[in-house]
Structure 1
Amino acid sequence: MTRTTHDTHPVQGPEDVSGEATTSRWQQVRATGDAGLATAEYAVATVAAVGFAGLLIAILKSDEVRELLLGIIRGALSVG
């Protein structure tokens, strides 16, 4: 019996552990390639996103940027 986690990537059940099944499974994985990010790539992307968010917070807290943004908002909301 096979369990399916993805249409193109069935997971071999315990009864399908013969050498032939393992070899054909390995050939199938190599033929289909990577279909997403690995856990390490998710971790790197998360750390980069957190660093970028910290940088944005630091920039937006500065008085110059705050005044610039308030000026833009006031100009957009002013009538005439």
Structure 2
Amino acid sequence: MRTLAKRAREYRRSARDLGMSTAEYAVGTVAAAAFAGLLFKIVTSSEVRGLISGIIRRALSLAG
């Protein structure tokens, strides 16, 4: 049977790599915000807006 101290050491060793650290969260958040900004710029551009409007018009004309 393992001692309590041995089990605690094993747990600490295995728990080190669980989840992300604060720095990794920060990098992930900045990357997600940059991607969202880029996606927003693309979707709100006049070309994409025209494409989406055309798709919606065609879908509505087929439904009616």
Q: TM-score, normalised by structure 2?
A: 0.71
Higher relative contact order (CA 8 A, sep 6+): 1
- Alignment RMSD (CA, Å): 2.2
Count residues with an aligned counterpart: 59
**What amino acid does structure 2 have at the position aligned with 1:70?**
S
Find the aligned partners of 1:26 and 1:40 in 2 and give their Cα distance: 25
Q: Which runs of 5+ in 1 are unaligned?
A: 1-20
Q: 2:32 corresponds to which residue?
A: 49
Taking the TM superposition and a 5 Å limit, the aligned residue runs for 1:1-80 are 25-78=8-61, 79=63
Of the structure 1 ranges 51-60 and 69-78, higher mean CA displacement relative to structure 2 is found in 69-78
